[in-house]
Structure 1
Amino acid sequence: MVKPMKIAIVDDERDMRQSISQWLALSGYETETFASAEDALKGLEQDYPGVVVSDIKMPGMDGMQFLKRLMAVDSALPVIMITGHGDVPMAVEAMRVGAFDFLEKPFNPDRMSELAKKATKARRLTLDNRALRRELSDGGALMKKLIGVSPAMERLKEDILDLGQADGHVLIDGETGTGKTLVAHALHAVGARASKRFVIVSCSAFEENALIERLFEPGSDGSIPAIEEARGGTLVLEDIESLSDAAQARLLQVINEQGSPAETRIVAISNLQEQGRTCEDVLRGDLFYRLAALRITVPPLRKRGEDILTLFTRLSDQFAEEYGCDAPQVSAQEAAQLLQAPWPGNVRQLINIAERAVLQNRRGSGSITSLLMADTDQIAPVMTTEGKPLKEYVEAFERMLIDNTMRRHKGSIVSVMEELCLPRRTLNEKMAKYGLQRSDYLA
């Protein structure tokens, strides 16, 4: 569940601190109070998970000095200033310095709640964006998002690590919903350009002239073109097959002018879904071979074997936490159906199934089988044409069962032995066989 945002209340008047704190606590916020700006500064660091409400007139360090110090620590921290009657010019100055807004005494408590709601929403967005930027610059974190131990996924991870260290342009292809943009992020994050800009442009989202302007020409609003914005870093072009002839010519010209090593690395993503056609068929040959100097094909979900069950478990656990309920238990029959489904929508489709399975489980009705049937418009569970030996289905289910039980008991071997009725030696052997480590489950 989402944690409530904090609100730090700074005021030298005890009664005022308490009344604001009580009101905001009733509105669902977690509050902390400080009698002086000096005390507050000790606990308000960059990425403080909340906002600040501060009086302007205080002994020692006043509100304006306090605000300037806060802006030096974190310029995006929302600070709501409280002013006395006649201090509006000072409040306007506070807004110029960086205050989020101000309240004039005596103020309406509902107005305080309204401002707190806006400020905490803005703060959450800022912190989420910062966390995302950190995550997207952390190659290790991104590689962990590529869940799975199937041969297809191991090859993909090896390709990312190898090509991430190279400097040539890259073409990423694969079916829709396989995670090609995540692979592009990982390529950038594990390479020498990780600290440089990472810019994504969807070629299918623009008309021809607008796309050429976005990529190569300064915008009418003064914005810089993407090729300049990504200079020294990585420019990702999604839906590369949507480039017009004119845009292809401009892109080829830029690539040729940059020489080798490329000043800006281009990662092209192809989402071509037309039967019997490839990216090579729709791009001019000289551009295709420049972009496809290095190439990664992201495997479809149906080729990833027991990774399907691992992914389903992780996703359903995440959705169960989000919705505040239990994740559904997967039966042996349902596990086999998950493994055999053709997954035309790949990981994106699996995400949808996992979320709906959690919502069904919360209501106490439905099954994973019914979801697979409804999702594929069939009257019976859909099966792939690629049969697998029974032994593979049994092992995949067994691994999932041990994995789920270890997660539920947070790595308690005794609890897992009791629930699965397994002697310790057998459990240890099976965990070793499936690459499961107890340390991964400890809380």
Structure 2
Amino acid sequence: MSVTPSTDSKNKLTYPTKNGKVLEFDISEGACSKFGFFHGSRVTTPKGSATVIGVKDDNLWFHIDRDSGASFWDNGKDYEALLYQLGVQLDDNDFSTITDKSGQYRVKRVTYMNKPISIVLQNENGPCPLISIGNVLLLQQKISIDQDIKTITLKKLGDKIIGYARLIYHDNPDILPIIDDYDKNVLPSLETGLIVNIKFDNICGFDKTEPCQIFDYLKIKLVHGWIYPEEAEGHVFVSDLTYNDLAAKMTSFGQSFPDITSSTEEQIRDFFACNQLTIKGLELIKENLEEDELCVFFRNNHFATMTKHAGDLHILVSDVGYESESAVVWDKIIGIGGENLFLSGEFKTRRENQVEIARLDLLAIGYNDEQVGQAIDHVNQSKLTDSSEPFSIAIEYLNSKGYTPG
């Protein structure tokens, strides 16, 4: 029997199953939200690529590409079970599902400053200005997303941001109307991006357009690292310009800079093509951010949540591709060439996290503080490989010393 899927109502879908039956599925956002995947999304599953169909009998059904119809997993009763037990994930080759008609964005639980926090994830083409602002406020705990929420719409995130703004300006009759205007006219535009015009003389240098001023009202620094070094020959020609100014001059370089030397011209051209980040820019950001201060960092037409911790700069990893990587929260900036190091929410490497877990496990099974301290010192002094298990190395050391749990 051949069946053509049909939609009987807005939130219902008649669709064939793998065993030949024809069932009616609930494809509404509300029904699917518990599972974190939505009707029409392309996903990878233990049985291969699949399309999410909808909900029936409290199960989320998928149509595996090679099957004749939809099926489900008995143990896939919610998002965490699907993601962590079964390994169901959005198809990396089909990011359109992340910003589907329901406008849902993934929410990830991380640990930051010893507290569980929800952050919002995005794809590489996502509307990062709004998400980066939201993540700053989430990490500052000025807004929050309930721990049971797996996805959020940009409208709801924007409502939380505006709600916070109204709270801090509740007694300021001059600012409140501006916040109301931002709610109606500015925030919707941030859902699709934000055009900025960088000034090359200041890490906080941006043309103060109306959308850009949202950062000021929320008391969040917007910074960039595209700074021309003062000691360089071309500084006098470039430092007072904006990006738009310099871009216009680059189209007719000789006329724009008639008396410039060839070496200075080369420097300016290199600066214009430097991926919007210089060593001087990084140095100035470090100097001007307080320890553990959160801000929004602009580079290459993207906005990211940034902080300074232990004197180093870190970018919040909000790419949906790292959703299931609990130990990947921060990306430490090593240099301007793309060098980086992924760290946990507590700014530890994967190995440091494993050693800390081993320490806690040793204490939990009854070894005393002194014994555990010796074992961890031994682990840290050992030449660890990617396959080394800190706990096993520690146990081997404790056994060699004749120590037993108390």
**TM interval, short-chain normalised:** under 0.3
Q: Provide TM-score, normalisation by structure 2.
A: 0.28
TM-score computed with the length of structure 1 as normaliser: 0.26
Higher helix residue share: 1
The one of the two structures with greater contact order (alpha-carbon pairs below 8 A, sep at least 6) is 1
Which structure has the bigger radius of gyration? Answer: 1
